[in-house]
Structure 1
């Protein structure tokens, strides 16, 4: 059963728990800056493992020393759901170990 879309207020409330994340174009977004390209690539690899574990996938863009994420739920009409916030929280949990800021 797909997650239900969250209201604008629910999204705003949940974003307060995730500093650095924003809501734009029906997605929650975050860009991490890392010290090197290798560190950025390692973070992406770790994110991929978390996404597979949750069976929920973000759009991930790898730059030289940045990783950009855009998350929404396609099965909920490309809306933001609780599942998106679960993924974001998991990523927030692993990012510091890679030196992401």
Structure 2
């Protein structure tokens, strides 16, 4: 299911408000390892070293730029915490899940 999300393109500008709790719960089942944390969806990606971490961050930045939907990132030596929410709707939107799936796809063979 996350593959279907990864093939989608973010909707800009978004119409309407944030997803409901039920919609968020349903979509979290489609993206492995993501969870709801403080009004955003979040996942920690782990790597062997700083070089791999930065390669992931740079690839994710390129995707975010192309989708016009940018995450909050916390980067350290061997991990990156990625958080998505949609400020323009005041919560979580389909765009967050599209970008989450695209982030996951970076690490799939």
Per the normalisation by structure 2, the TM-score is 0.83
Aligned to 1:52: 65
- What residue number does 1:18 align with? 31
Structure 1 unpaired stretches of 5+: none
Give the aligned partner of residue 41 of structure 1: 54
> Which segments of structure 1 move beyond 6 Å, counting only runs of 4 or more?
none
CA distance in 2, matches of 1:37, 1:64: 5
Task: Give CA deviations for 1:5-42 in whole Å, capped at 9, x if unaligned.
Answer: 11111111111111110001110000000011100000
1:89 alignment partner in structure 2: 101
**TM-score, normalised on structure 1?**
0.90
The alignment's C-alpha RMSD in Å is: 1.1
Q: How far off is 1:92 after superposition?
A: 0.8
1:67 and 1:50, CA in 2 relative to 1: closer, same or farther beyond 3 A? same
Instruction: Tell me the residue number matched to 1:6.
Output: 19
For 1:89 and 1:37, locate their aligned partners in 2 and report how far apart those are by CA, in whole Å. Answer: 23
- The corresponding residue for 1:72 is 85
